């Protein structure tokens, strides 16, 4: 007979899985068509005529996980492998190494697959990630006859390094970090000739964590501010178009241990505004609520012109294995959970300090 503690843990995990499946099932069986239509019409007012002026939009598609689930308001959080997209300075402040696998359904039949590893040793942090965006594509001639099929794909490789400049134990810490990226777009010649391209973007970030008053007796760093300049790069070769360069500034605060609040401000930047004007400023807000040591819920809103997004999700930790599931609603998809669904598996490869 197994110990009662094992049975209790198994029961709690079942309850957590049931709660998560219920959360994700609601949009699938509820009619929100009128609400969705009204939402779409309302946000027409915030249209951005400068959208779509850059190449490699996959750089802005969140790979998933808590980063996506909190509405991408993660610049000052950056406490897991999502830091590779949110803030490269976060790796030196990690308390355990993590290996993560991401799957993200996107528009229609497109998808994003990601693998990421991050670790820190109290002073230095390191990380590496690979991200694949792919979508089936069919080419037709003037008579409507199919002449070729293939996959449009973008492959992103990221290397991360960071260093902690100041560490005052549980009072204050300051880190800086860099991501070096290589991204390649492949378009089969049979579909469109001379459309493949590549770029070498760079991210530079800073992250400070400190202690602020709380509603509990916990005495550790519960607030943070961060800033990162993402996707700094010369023009895409050989097209001459820019990549989506972005300045993100974020704050995060935990007024009590179970609750985390975060807010990001994002400013698109153009180095050639006359030819390629920058898109509009946008905001992202997120929240995480830890219910038990193995279950947390999170949600977020990315208020972006033309295409705002709402995300809800949950994290379940079973020993050293974690599962993160998100459901997203934006104006590019529908309310079918399968269309805007992401799943992440994380592996804790060390003992949390």
pLDDT value at position 101? Answer: 97
Residue 307 scores a pLDDT above 60: yes
Q: Looking at mean pLDDT, say which of 12-26, 27-41, 50-64, 175-189 comes out highest.
A: 175-189
In the structure, what pLDDT confidence band is assigned to residue 6 with cuts at 50, 70 and 90?
Answer: very low
CA distance linking residue 334 with residue 260, whole number of Å: 29
Q: Which of 324, 318, 326, 259 is nearest to 287 (CA)?
A: 259
In the structure, what pLDDT confidence band is assigned to residue 286 with cuts at 50, 70 and 90?
Answer: very high
Q: Is the pTM of this model over 0.75?
A: yes
| Domains recognised in the chain with CATH numbers | 4-348 (2.40.160.40)
pLDDT tens track for 183-225 = 999 988 877 788 899 999 999 999 999 998 877 666 688 999 9
CA distance linking residue 248 with residue 231, whole number of Å: 11
pLDDT value at position 1? Answer: 36
pLDDT tens track for 310-343 = 999 999 999 899 999 999 887 665 555 556 789 9
């Amino acid at each position: 007979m197994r110990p009662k503690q094992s049975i209790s843990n198994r029961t709690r995990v079942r309850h957590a899985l049931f709660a998560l499946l219920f959360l994700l099932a609601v949009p699938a069986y509820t009619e929100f068509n009128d609400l969705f239509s009204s939402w779409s019409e309302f946000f027409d007012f915030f249209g951005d005529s400068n959208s779509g002026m850059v190449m490699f939009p996959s750089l802005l598609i969140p790979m998933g996980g808590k980063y996506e689930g909190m509405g991408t308001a993660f610049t000052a959080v950056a406490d897991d492998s999502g830091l590779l997209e949110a803030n490269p300075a976060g790796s030196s402040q990690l308390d355990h190494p993590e290996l993560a696998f991401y799957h993200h359904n996107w528009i229609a039949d497109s998808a994003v697959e990601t693998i990421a590893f991050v670790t820190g040793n109290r002073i230095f942090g390191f990380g590496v990630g690979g991200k694949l965006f792919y979508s089936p594509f069919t080419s037709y001639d003037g008579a409507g006859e199919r002449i070729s099929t293939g996959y449009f794909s973008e492959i992103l490789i990221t290397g991360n390094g960071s260093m902690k400049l100041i560490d005052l134990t549980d009072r204050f810490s300051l880190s800086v970090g860099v991501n070096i990226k290589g991204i390649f777009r492949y378009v089969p010649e049979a579909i469109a000739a001379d459309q493949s391209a590549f770029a070498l973007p760079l991210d530079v970030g800073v992250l400070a964590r400190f202690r602020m008053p709380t509603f509990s007796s916990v005495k550790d760093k519960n607030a943070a501010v961060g800033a990162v300049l993402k996707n700094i790069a010369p023009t895409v070769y050989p097209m001459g178009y820019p990549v989506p360069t972005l300045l993100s500034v974020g704050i995060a605060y935990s007024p009590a241990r179970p609750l985390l609040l975060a807010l990001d401000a994002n400013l698109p930047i153009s180095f050639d505004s006359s030819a390629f004007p920058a898109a509009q400023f946008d905001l992202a807000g997120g929240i995480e609520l830890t219910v038990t040591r193995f279950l947390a819920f999170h949600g977020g809103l990315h208020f972006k012109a033309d295409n705002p997004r709402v995300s809800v999700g949950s994290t379940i930790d079973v020993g050293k294995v974690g599962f993160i599931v998100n459901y997203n609603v934006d104006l590019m998809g529908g309310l079918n959970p399968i269309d805007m669904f992401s799943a992440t598996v994380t592996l804790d490869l060390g003992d949390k300090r």
